[in-house]
Chains A and B, each alone.
Chain A
Amino acid sequence: DAKTTQPNSMESNEEEPVHLPCNHSTISGTDYIHWYRQLPSQGPEYVIHGLTSNVNNRMASLAIAEDRKSSTLILHRATLRDAAVYYCILRDVSTYKYIFGTGTRLKVLA
């Protein structure tokens, strides 16, 4: 299974943009890049996913490197409610399995 590497923690000021990096140098051609986030004592929630092109939705943007070996989740204006653990996950389109790493704990400062 392909692996992802993320920083353990990051801090951001409220209402500023946040760029959360993820390295996935062993990604295969059929792996989709998913991002989920988990608030304390809750189940993870879907944020965004992509394959090759950059993606935008109401929650965030996903920037994928041209060689697909890294990606960045962008929160355009961080709020206190965005404080969570963010997981970058690779998932092969042919399987149902997701491999979660330890994620990045985002702290948002008021």
Chain B
Amino acid sequence: DGGITQSPKYLFRKEGQNVTLSCEQNLNHDAMYWYRQDPGQGLRLIYYSQIVNDFQKGDIAEGYSVSREKKESFPLTVTSAQKNPTAFYLCASSKYIVRTYEQYFGPGTRLTVT
């Protein structure tokens, strides 16, 4: 089955540690995205990538970093510079449909930093 996988589902870290969240897709999509969701809130865009070896900052990129070395993979690193990293993180990818782009989302990773 094609889809997006994120691992792990739950992640716990101590304050001051960097942590990398995995996102893999086998949908052959060009574009990939990372969002952050806080309780009761909508999704906010962290980074997005339109093509391999290229990515752009979203609305809340400070304290995060990404890489896009392969089409299938778009890992997100939450650095110690991120002031409030505890959140639900969602990865997505998109294809081209009818002159716009439908996004497919992974199951998410819930990160807790104490």
Smallest distance from the beta carbon of A10 to chain B beta carbons, Å?
16
| CB interface residues, A 42-59, toward B, < 8 Å | 42-46, 49, 51
Which residues between 26 and 44 of chain B lie within 8 Å of chain A, taking CB atoms? Answer: 31, 33, 35, 40-44
**B45 lies within 8 A of A97 (CB):** yes
Task: Provide the main secondary structure of the chain B interface.
Answer: strand
Interface SS of chain A: helix, strand, loop or mixed?
Answer: loop
Q: Nearest chain A CB to B59's CB is how many angstroms away?
A: 8
- How many of chain A's residues touch chain B, expressed as a range? 20 to 34
Contact call A44/B45, Cβ cutoff below 8 A = no
B contact residues, total (Cβ < 8 Å): 29
Q: Is the CB of B92 within 8 A of A43?
A: yes
Is there an interface contact between B31 and A42, defined as CB atoms closer than 8 Å?
A: no
The residues in B between 48 and 62 inclusive whose CB is less than 8 angstroms from any CB of A are 48, 50, 58
17 intermolecular pairs with C-beta atoms under 8 Å apart: A34-B100, A41-B110, A43-B90, A43-B92, A44-B43, A44-B90, A45-B105, A46-B102, A49-B98, A51-B100, A91-B101, A96-B48, A96-B50, A97-B58, A98-B103, A100-B43, A100-B44
